[in-house]
Structure 1
Amino acid sequence: MAEIYPFRDIEKIWQSRWDEHQVFRSTEGGDRPKYYVLEMLPYPSGRLHMGHVRNYSIGDALSRFKRMNGFNVLHPIGWDSFGLPAENAAIKHGIHPEKWTLDNIAFMKTQMKRLGFSYDWARETTTCLPEYYRWNQWFFLEMYKRGLVYRKHGLVNWCNVCQTVLANEQVVNGGCWRDGSAITQKKLAQWCIRITDYAEELLDEIDRLDGWPERVRTMQRNWIGRSVGAKVCFAVDGFAERIEIFTTRIDTIYGANAIILSPEHPMVEALIETHPEQARLREAIDTIIRRIRTDRSFVDTEKEGICLDRYAVNPFNGERLPIWIANFILMEYGTGAIMAVPAHDGRDREFSLKYDLPIRPVVAPVDGCCAEGELYDAYGVLINSGEYSGLTSEAAMDRMSRRAEAEGFGCATVTFRMRDWGISRQRYWGTPIPIVHCEACGLVPVPEQELPVLLPPMERIDYHGGSPLENITEFVHTRCPKCGGPARRDTDTMDTFIDSSWYYLRYTDAQIASAAIDPAKVAYWFPVDIYIGGIEHAVGHLTYTRFWWKMMRDLGMVKGSEPVTRLLTQGMVIKDGAKMSKSLGNIVDPDYLIERFGADTSRLFILFASPPEKDLDWSDQGIEGCFRFLNRVYRIVTKHAHWLAAPAPLPAEPTERQLLLLRKTHQTIAKVTSDIEERLQFNTAIAACMELTNELYAADNAGLDAPGDRAVFRHAVEALILMFSPFVPHLAEELWAQTGHGTYVLDSAWPQADPRYLVAECVEIPIMVNGKLRARVQIPVDADEASVKELVFGVPRIQQLLAEGTLKKHLYVKNKVFNIILK
């Protein structure tokens, strides 16, 4: 019997058989309930890393578990193969993005198969292929028809490293989400999706996402950021244009002492254009802008302001208010302008004290208890507010908002922190925008019958300054679909998050050519039962995904309000105190692990080392321990394989020792089932399987010669193989075959716990040898001394001690302790 089980041969054999017999194929229909297991698809910008292995091992274990429990399981995978990650990797390696991407897909697909992931490869979806991205263009045009897609000129987030625009969700702590480099603002024409039309619904339905982590739901609530208040427009002396602000506290407007603008507010240029000190002001403003762009913490530190020597007029009392520019007002929040009310806002107070602006309280506590000069930011009763004095804050806000609307300078309104989704990217490797620019006709959609607008081949891609597509004459110059005259194609490509917003619907029929999806198949498989991926996608991808589903619902393509029932955000893989990263040199290559220990050991460790939602600390000793465990299982099963293949009925009246193993087996079945089904705690489920393995060794050491011993042992072995098959499928299939089964373990029924053996009829007692604790053993409650002695003397550690000494006597205290005295 081999000391190290032949994992290479075993894994190769079973992967070949699964592939040959298409074991993982799934079809719609039948009488089994459906279950859709979805993991976030990978960027094919390199090899698989351990984060991938963890994510996909979680999904694969659950997929196998559900299939064995009688579900019709959909478990697909694809490739998020457009966009910055793949293109940047291609640039780095000097290879065309298409070749780099497709080569990586082929390599990573091989890695996934080596790991035994049970994907239905017939549903594989690759987003950079025309058969997929033509439907990105179709969706774009459908939204354009309905006014959900529009083009505007404005300031955008620009990454100089990536040479492209980033959506607000892709700016993290003032830097690019990919490389961390500082973001600047650039004025460009951009295509946008009016995601804010769905802001209210996206926010309201967060509370219905009971299967999502509260942390993710909170992040989405904060990102959408609903605020109830009022819009107020302030006239500006000498200018026709007014300054619009949004405030949640219109009741404090009589306490306003200034209007403060973002340095990037579109009206700033006009306000300083005729100023006698225009050059000085422009230089000071540019200095603030540069500091904000390079150090986002600047907005949260000391308040910096510039007075423009211009004045706005408070529409409620006619008071002239100085207009300032300040570092803490950002264009991406609200309107990029505020009214400063220092008596009732801490930030405004700090600014006003620094620049010696007047502070006038206009709201007092209902009970009048507020020290003079003290900040009061709660609701109360209005003072120093003209005709509104004496009103409560709530009543004043209502009356003031109605007056603003009646007189045409404002209204009550709701705003959202979330902005429309800017989807234009000045890159090559993406979905071309299906719009033609015609001097006579303006913006003209490409006719549906001409889709897809194919991404043209390029020998050399110029990535700097503008879109590389602008340099391809045969792509740019075309005819207007409307008038037939000369026209130019749009040269931007779409944000990669477009691709990942609906890919999981395409899995339901990846081959369909006549439509983006087959509604009947989507109706069968949806909603997704569980979606597995990283917390970093909480406010980007997961928000877009929810929006896209609702947009498709409004197109009549899908039904229901939300696409995903349950969300699992798995933790990171940590090594040497940091997330595994090539730049830190702390990565572990999955191929190395597979070659040295096998795919099953790699999967087992990644699932055993930590609960899935927690970070996992890498341990070389841990993976070696998992390898030893699998060898133990292999040895104990193959040792008895010659008779395990012969079925035998369980004894009608099991002995005490047999009852112990039966109870442990069914208690393990109950625990493993509960840990996976209810809590997704694979680590504790695996630990329970390890404990059952120990019991098998104890039973083997005690002897399997009594009538019924082998039947009970075989019963426990079968249960163990079935239960650990979601984690180590190759070894499970091999042992299942060696124990006489002619079917795949994946097609076998999950074991069911027998209630008769779940009653707490056992107790664990310590075994003391010469006064020292040497082991513990499970015994039936109230078992007779002879039965307990047999169990105690069958423990391997006690057998070893007995062989080394001479038994003088033993003493058993019922249900408490077993004492052994050795000479």
Structure 2
Amino acid sequence: MINYYNIKYLEKFAYKYLRNLEKIVYKERNKKEYLCISMFPYPSGMLHLGHFRNYIINDLICRIKLIKGYKSFMFFGWDSFGLPAEKKSIEKNLNPIVWVKKNILLMKNQINKMCLIINWKKELNTSSIDYYYYNQLLFKNLFKYKYIYIRKNWVNWDSVDKTVLAEEQVINGRGWRSNSLIKKKLMPMYYFSVKKILHSLIKNKEKYSPKSVLKLQKKWISKKYYYFFYFYFKKKKIKFFVKNIKDLFFGNSLLVSYENFYFISLLKKKEEIKNFVNSDKKFYDTKIYGTFYFFKKIKYKIIITKDYYDKNIILKKIVKFNPNKFLIKIFLKIFLKKIYLKKFFFFFKKNIFCKKKYISKLKDWSLSRQRYWGTPIPVLKCKCCGFIISKIPVKIKNFNKKIEYNTFFNYKNIKKCYICKKKSIQENETLDTFFDSSWYFIKYFLDEPFKKFMFLNKIDKYIGGIEHSILHLLYVKYIFIFLKKIKMCNIINPFNKILVQGLVLNKSYYSKKYKKYVNFRKLNSKEKYIIKTEKMSKSKKNGINPINLISRYGVDCLRMFIFFSCNIKDNLIFDEKKIKGIQRFIKKVWNFLIKLNFKNFDISKKDFLEIEEKILLKKIVNNIIYNYKKLKINIVISYLMILFKELKSKEE
């Protein structure tokens, strides 16, 4: 044993030990496996402290399970497709293929210094053909069973990133990465039909997701019950919905979504509606009326709205317009005579039509992106055969010249149709990266997914941030509901439990002059900045490289600081001063163990502790075990500090 706390020596020894441990554990075949997985990162830049927190939680759980006799190691992969990697490659004037490989090596070097127990044999990379071949195979199955369709629609267009964004990727009217204002653009897109799985999505009762995740998803799905009736417009019978019975009497406006192309085509106001879509207005008064029959003709004003109603027409009261006096009189008569709602609906069922139906604001998932760096969509556009699935894998076109925005998107890839043998065009759009990450964890355990029925064991713990509740975790549900429906998988919920970690926060500096975030190391004393405590991220330039902290304080010290600062589920505000306090404690423990070693103290001896001390220590140990099970590691460390004080006082 060395006489002082030598960080570099200890970490070299620990790293060698962990590499050998992996070989020893996997030789023992009888051991039960415990699967614990962290959400994998984008390899677009160096890892920050937020990533480190995620991985050490995973590492801690795996280590506990190893002690308990399980076969438990971390898995690692790279979500290497998408805008972050493409933007960085343009910035560095490199092809994304070269940039991603280079960056993975850099980030892997970072991870190795973290002394994590990772099974690198199972490493995956979404931009490798070994992975995106199965991505295309999944797309092929979805297309075959008509869960993916193509239609022209108003889409969210990000003018900075020059790509389409899904509804979930637009936050307060701005792009989730570029922060630019989103405009609406009419163009053909590939969509995943959420309607086909909506009932299963709502019906699916989960036990594995935390309440915070379920609350956000429930709010996003926003399921509400409506009653539907019919009105007449240009001799056509059209369905409309009311949320409450009162709306039928007090409502004065039929709200029509701008995405309801069929009804809008009947209005013959194409240019006016096109101008409205990209304006700041919420409503557009068409000054046209629809007719509803209730004892006599009732007219409702037709209003085009940006509020999404799943292309359904909703009857509501708009303050600007006067309510229908005739219907108000009928409403009052019905309720003054104490005619109950059941009788009222019986009348409608008999004479017109009235049924209850739930409507969700959940849109179909837009899958295609106008980018180069992504999984190529395996579709051929043939004039004779229409849209048909290409022979897979469709490989990424390798450009030798500098990649620029829309370089690949405007490029026409002519191919021969394998059915009619005529010229056809290979689709040059790519898949949304959330499609890649919706099933990646299957690839850790199965070499060839989606080829036959997959019997999957549930992942015991899945670790990630709350910000992925609506995007990533919702898309995982879509894919697994589909796989269960076509009898390709035995489970709908792939996780036994989801562990939502808190964020790591740090000060960010936003330049008023240049209107962009500035790295805290490059601040100018003459400039004015908006200072906020925000989530560590590359875009806000407030990330801290954990390797710099490891070289100063050691990996154990940094791990202990993160676990001790707060509960795993709470947000952590970075403060380097607190790390120094943890370092002093570790040195005290080390010096104490050195002293014990020299004095040949044996704690296991019966006479080492008094009866009262034994009772106190037993209580402390029981509290440590209890809080370990609850993963309240900050409380565990507090009790370990108390335990250390007791042992130190006895030694003195």
User: Partners of 2:125 and 2:77 in 1: how far apart?
Assistant: 6
Q: Equivalences for 1:352-751 in 2 at 5 Å?
A: 352=321, 356-358=322-324, 362=328, 382-383=331-332, 391-397=339-345, 399-400=347-348, 403-405=351-353, 411-447=355-391, 451-460=392-401, 463-464=404-405, 468-471=408-411, 473=412, 476-509=413-446, 512=447, 514-516=448-450, 523=456, 526-576=457-507, 577-582=533-538, 586-641=542-597, 650-651=605-606, 654=607, 657-677=609-629, 679-701=630-652
CA separation of 1:135 and 1:40: change in aligned 2, threshold 3 A: same
Residue 492 of structure 2 aligns with an amino acid whose one-letter code is: S
1:158 match: secondary structure: strand
CA separation of 1:560 and 1:578: change in aligned 2, threshold 3 A: closer
- Equivalence for 1:101: 100
Identity over aligned pairs, percent: 27
User: Partners of 2:259 and 2:567 in 1: how far apart?
Assistant: 46
**1:335 equivalent among 293, 305, 311:** 311
The CA deviation at 1:531 is: 1.2
Residue 605 of structure 2 aligns with an amino acid whose one-letter code is: L
- Equivalence for 1:169: 168
Q: Answer yes or no: is 1:219 the counterpart of 2:207.
A: no
- Equivalence for 2:297: 319
1:251·1:397 contact (CA, 8 Å) conserved in 2?
A: no
The CA deviation at 1:401 is: 5.3
1:467·1:492 contact (CA, 8 Å) conserved in 2?
A: no
User: Partners of 1:27 and 1:401 in 2: how far apart?
Assistant: 69
The one-character-per-residue Cα deviations of 1:450-478 (angstroms, maximum 9, x if unpaired) are x21111111346654x572441x5xx111
2:45·2:538 contact (CA, 8 Å) conserved in 1?
A: no
1:362·1:385 contact (CA, 8 Å) conserved in 2?
A: no
User: Partners of 2:458 and 2:343 in 1: how far apart?
Assistant: 45
User: Partners of 1:158 and 1:332 in 2: how far apart?
Assistant: 17
User: Partners of 2:341 and 2:75 in 1: how far apart?
Assistant: 55
1:319 match: secondary structure: strand
The one-character-per-residue Cα deviations of 1:27-47 (angstroms, maximum 9, x if unpaired) are 8962x4432111111111111
The CA deviation at 1:18 is: 2.3
Residue 154 of structure 2 aligns with an amino acid whose one-letter code is: L
Q: Equivalences for 1:759-798 in 2 at 5 Å?
A: none
User: Partners of 2:121 and 2:267 in 1: how far apart?
Assistant: 63
- Equivalence for 2:512: none
Residue 184 of structure 2 aligns with an amino acid whose one-letter code is: Q
User: Partners of 1:168 and 1:320 in 2: how far apart?
Assistant: 36
Residue 203 of structure 2 aligns with an amino acid whose one-letter code is: D
Q: Which deviates more from structure 2 when the two are superposed, residues 59-68 or residues 548-557?
A: 548-557
The one-character-per-residue Cα deviations of 1:400-457 (angstroms, maximum 9, x if unpaired) are 356544xxxx75433222122110111111111111111111111124xxx2111111
1:265·1:331 contact (CA, 8 Å) conserved in 2?
A: no
Structure 1 unaligned residues grouped into runs of 5+: 293-297, 300-304, 343-347, 365-381, 702-823
User: Partners of 2:197 and 2:263 in 1: how far apart?
Assistant: 31
The CA deviation at 1:623 is: 0.6
Residue 468 of structure 1 aligns with an amino acid whose one-letter code is: F
Q: Equivalences for 1:74-113 in 2 at 5 Å?
A: 74-113=73-112
The CA deviation at 1:661 is: 4.9
Residue 232 of structure 1 aligns with an amino acid whose one-letter code is: F
Q: Equivalences for 1:145-294 in 2 at 5 Å?
A: 145-206=144-205, 208-209=206-207, 211-236=208-233, 239=234, 243-249=238-244, 252-262=247-257, 265-266=260-261, 270=265, 273=268, 282=272, 288-292=276-280
User: Partners of 1:183 and 1:234 in 2: how far apart?
Assistant: 34
User: Partners of 2:159 and 2:59 in 1: how far apart?
Assistant: 39
User: Partners of 1:2 and 1:8 in 2: how far apart?
Assistant: 12
Task: Output the TM-score relative to the length of structure 2.
Answer: 0.88
1:37·1:529 contact (CA, 8 Å) conserved in 2?
A: yes
2:363 match: secondary structure: coil
User: Partners of 2:291 and 2:395 in 1: how far apart?
Assistant: 54
1:91 match: secondary structure: helix
The CA deviation at 1:95 is: 2.1
The one-character-per-residue Cα deviations of 1:140-168 (angstroms, maximum 9, x if unpaired) are 11111111111111111111111111111
CA separation of 1:125 and 1:663: change in aligned 2, threshold 3 A: farther
Residue 172 of structure 2 aligns with an amino acid whose one-letter code is: N
Structure 2 unaligned residues grouped into runs of 5+: 508-532
- Equivalence for 1:351: 320
CA separation of 1:594 and 1:619: change in aligned 2, threshold 3 A: same
1:263·1:325 contact (CA, 8 Å) conserved in 2?
A: no
Residue 319 of structure 1 aligns with an amino acid whose one-letter code is: K
- Equivalence for 1:73: 72
Residue 487 of structure 2 aligns with an amino acid whose one-letter code is: G
- Equivalence for 1:735: none
Residue 567 of structure 1 aligns with an amino acid whose one-letter code is: I
Residue 438 of structure 1 aligns with an amino acid whose one-letter code is: C
User: Partners of 1:95 and 1:141 in 2: how far apart?
Assistant: 31
CA separation of 1:444 and 1:287: change in aligned 2, threshold 3 A: closer
Residue 503 of structure 1 aligns with an amino acid whose one-letter code is: Y
User: Partners of 1:307 and 1:247 in 2: how far apart?
Assistant: 20
Q: Equivalences for 1:13-92 in 2 at 5 Å?
A: 13-20=13-20, 22-23=22-23, 26=26, 30=30, 32-92=31-91
1:363·1:383 contact (CA, 8 Å) conserved in 2?
A: yes
1:249·1:397 contact (CA, 8 Å) conserved in 2?
A: no
1:235 match: secondary structure: strand
CA RMSD of aligned residues (A): 3.1
The one-character-per-residue Cα deviations of 1:309-362 (angstroms, maximum 9, x if unpaired) are 322111445535253436xx325333263223x3xxxxx3x333xxx4546664
1:488 match: secondary structure: strand
The CA deviation at 1:640 is: 2.8
2:374 match: secondary structure: coil
User: Partners of 2:580 and 2:451 in 1: how far apart?
Assistant: 46
2:22 match: secondary structure: coil
Give 1 or 2 for the bigger CA radius of gyration: 1
1:401·1:412 contact (CA, 8 Å) conserved in 2?
A: no
Aligned residues: 627
Task: Output the TM-score relative to the length of structure 1.
Answer: 0.70
Residue 550 of structure 1 aligns with an amino acid whose one-letter code is: I
The one-character-per-residue Cα deviations of 1:169-204 (angstroms, maximum 9, x if unpaired) are 111222212222221111111111122222222222
User: Partners of 1:416 and 1:394 in 2: how far apart?
Assistant: 25
2:95·2:403 contact (CA, 8 Å) conserved in 1?
A: no
Residue 16 of structure 2 aligns with an amino acid whose one-letter code is: S
